[in-house]
Structure 1
Amino acid sequence: MGFLSNPVSNFSLYLLLFFFLISFELIPVAQSASDITSLVYKGCAKQTFSDPTGVYSQALSALFGSLVQQSSKAKFFKTNTGSGQTTISGLFQCRGDLSNSDCYTCVSKLPQMSDNLCGKTIAARVQLIGCYILYEISGFAQISGMEMLYKTCGGTNVAGSGFEERRDTAFSVLENGVVSGHGFYTTNYQQVYVLGQCQGDVGDSDCGECMKSGVQRAQVECGSAISGQVYLHKCFLSYSYYPNGVPRRSSSSSSSSSSSSSGSGNTGKTVAIILGGAAGVGFLVIFLLFARNLMKKHDGIGNTWVLKIASFFKGGDT
């Protein structure tokens, strides 16, 4: 008895092969745009500007337009618009491991978000996971670069497992890494993943000092928490402990290796799309083989089965 002799058992085998094919679509892909554009925090000045002639609004709109435009070709840009008392200075910065297209995607969300979250305040800062934007009108009071703006700590504690020693060693590597990496560094040490970045106009030495201050804040504020993020005015850092190993997309030892990791993620997405298409084609081939097999049976049985299958897809009765 040949391979195509039993339509029912063959159809079960075809279904098994089909589900085997589509199972490969579950390949994890790189971090999505929705992740990098998620809000972390906002900082809005209490005072709004009086703008009866619309001069401030025009200057702010021009500023935002310039920042968004530059985000397609740079990860940090600082400029100002207006003149005299109506001068507004501002900047954007993207995380060092983002591509230019992802940076643009992230920054282009910020003007509208700033307006929705802060309105027409004289200064504002909106921080997303992948980027942030900052603006202030002329004469706005300056704050220290070491001023802590925001922090968050994971709800799970992992004290007593040697975690704090591992984390502190990773922090030590990070402090040196942001200096040698000229403002951005990411690495993992024994399941502890750390990332740090300084504002683009901060020198290497000042960046190292800012990161050192951020590390001390993280140690005090988060204690033995499994993860944490600390944002100072001129730098920020994050850490996460993965007892089962750092996920592939987060594993890197420098900004260059982070870019490679991002490339691997894009490759994974491409593979998933190709395999998804192959699964669809495979199902069509399997269905056609099954139908041909039925047609090979004697006319009565074969035609009846084909008519029933056709009726099922049309939603009719036979």
Structure 2
Amino acid sequence: MGYASKPFSFFLFSLIFCTNLELIPLAESASDYTALVYKGCAKQSFTDPTGAYSQAISALYGSLVSQSTKARFSKTTSGSGQTTISGLFQCRGDLTNSECYTCVSKLPQLAESLCGKTIAARVQLLGCYILYEVSGFAQISGMELLYKTCGATNVAGSGFEERRDTALSVLENGVVSGHGFYTTSYQAMYVLGQCEGDLGDSDCGECTKTAVQKAQVECGNAISGQIYLHKCFISYSYYPNGVPTRSTSSSSSSSSSSSSSSGGTTGKTVAIILGGAAGVGFLVICLLFARSLLKKHDGKYGYI
């Protein structure tokens, strides 16, 4: 087919059409994980007179979508010979199985509509991504920058850089100890990182470190940023008024609870206790106030 000699290019995934858009915080809604982040399509399309490629891709998609009901990462191959196609999907580590399936099930149609019959494609949503490539492509570096987006608002002073850098340093260590996924809050910073599911801890740490360095250079003092490398991605968001509570659907996932830092978990627990105590205190005040009112109208209402 003549494509093996051409380097595998996703245009360096330079579709930075959202570069100046504000980063969508992962904490704000349960449905934003299906929002499109970027697409990467190979320049060359395949000819398919016998329909062999179409059948192989269809079988690949079917297998990956099926696996997404019980796993957050899976690789598979389909077809044979020159029509062999390899692919994988991965969901964000804090998604439930149901959310993962919902996310992944949208990807085949998106890849087809966005990239057509290209010999390789990658489509990234906020909560998951899928990629495939026809046998014979040259591999790109796992550290290669595919996509970036930085918040339009810059933060000057107030120790922002120190907070960001410390939070990202915690993230670097956390992704390794979390075996590929980690998220935490640190002094108004919310950070998240994930490596491709079959990447070892050491390589994951190196990939995340590279992503952090690129975030510091590429995004500067931007209030938020996302950096996607071929084998890992990170995101950070700064909330001057405090990191908002994350969605129930995400926080209930077992991966989220196992990969969050103990400090973040403790902070949430303290917030719940204080919130509960404040609620009880408010209720007591209301009851006492009602009691005083009803005592004045004791004969009419007769509640107390």
Structure 2 match to 1:32: 30
CA deviation string 1:47-95 (max 9, x = no partner): 0011000000000000000000000000000000011111000000000
Structure 2 match to 1:168: 165
Which has the higher Rg, Structure 1 or Structure 2?
1
AA in 1 matched with 2:58:
S
Q: Is the 8 A contact 2:182 2:259 kept in 1?
A: no
Structure 2 match to 1:55: 52
AA in 2 matched with 1:141:
A
For residue 255 of structure 1, report the CA deviation from its aligned partner: 2.9
- Residues 38-117 of structure 1 correspond to what in structure 2 (within 5 A)? 38-117=35-114
TM-score computed with the length of structure 2 as normaliser:
0.73
AA in 1 matched with 2:30:
S
Please give the alpha-carbon distance, in whole angstroms, between the structure 2 residues aligned to 1:242 and 1:195. 14
2:132 paired with 1:131: no
- Paired residues, what number? 232
Runs (4 or more) in structure 1 with deviation over 2 Å come to 29-33, 257-261
Structure 1 match to 2:256: 255
Structure 2 match to 1:212: 209
For 1:149, what is the secondary structure of its paired residue? strand
Change (3 A) 1:96 1:42: same
Q: Is the 8 A contact 1:170 1:192 kept in 2?
A: yes
Please give the alpha-carbon distance, in whole angstroms, between the structure 1 residues aligned to 2:126 and 2:256. 16
For 1:103, what is the secondary structure of its paired residue? helix
Q: Is the 8 A contact 2:76 2:86 kept in 1?
A: yes
For 2:141, what is the secondary structure of its paired residue? coil
For 1:171, what is the secondary structure of its paired residue? helix
For 2:246, what is the secondary structure of its paired residue? helix
AA in 1 matched with 2:184:
T
AA in 2 matched with 1:255:
S
For 1:51, what is the secondary structure of its paired residue? coil
Please give the alpha-carbon distance, in whole angstroms, between the structure 1 residues aligned to 2:128 and 2:29. 14
Q: Is the 8 A contact 2:175 2:182 kept in 1?
A: yes
Please give the alpha-carbon distance, in whole angstroms, between the structure 2 residues aligned to 1:101 and 1:180. 26
Please give the alpha-carbon distance, in whole angstroms, between the structure 2 residues aligned to 1:128 and 1:30. 16
Unaligned runs of 5+ in 2: 1-26, 269-304
2:191 paired with 1:190: no
For 1:197, what is the secondary structure of its paired residue? strand
Q: Is the 8 A contact 2:122 2:130 kept in 1?
A: yes
For residue 258 of structure 1, report the CA deviation from its aligned partner: 7.0
Please give the alpha-carbon distance, in whole angstroms, between the structure 1 residues aligned to 2:155 and 2:220. 10
Please give the alpha-carbon distance, in whole angstroms, between the structure 2 residues aligned to 1:255 and 1:143. 30
Please give the alpha-carbon distance, in whole angstroms, between the structure 1 residues aligned to 2:158 and 2:28. 31
Please give the alpha-carbon distance, in whole angstroms, between the structure 2 residues aligned to 1:64 and 1:53. 19
AA in 1 matched with 2:256:
S
TM-score computed with the length of structure 1 as normaliser:
0.70
Structure 2 match to 1:6: none
Identity %: 81
AA in 2 matched with 1:203:
G
Q: Is the 8 A contact 1:176 1:208 kept in 2?
A: yes
CA deviation string 1:234-285 (max 9, x = no partner): 0000000000000011798x83267999xx9xxxxxxxxxxxxxxxxxxxxx
For residue 159 of structure 1, report the CA deviation from its aligned partner: 1.7
For 2:94, what is the secondary structure of its paired residue? coil
2:140 paired with 1:143: yes
Structure 2 match to 1:225: 222
Q: Is the 8 A contact 1:181 1:255 kept in 2?
A: no
Please give the alpha-carbon distance, in whole angstroms, between the structure 2 residues aligned to 1:181 and 1:215. 17
Q: Is the 8 A contact 2:181 2:259 kept in 1?
A: no
| Coordinate RMSD, CA, aligned | 2.1
Please give the alpha-carbon distance, in whole angstroms, between the structure 2 residues aligned to 1:65 and 1:169. 42
For residue 188 of structure 1, report the CA deviation from its aligned partner: 1.0
Please give the alpha-carbon distance, in whole angstroms, between the structure 2 residues aligned to 1:257 and 1:64. 30
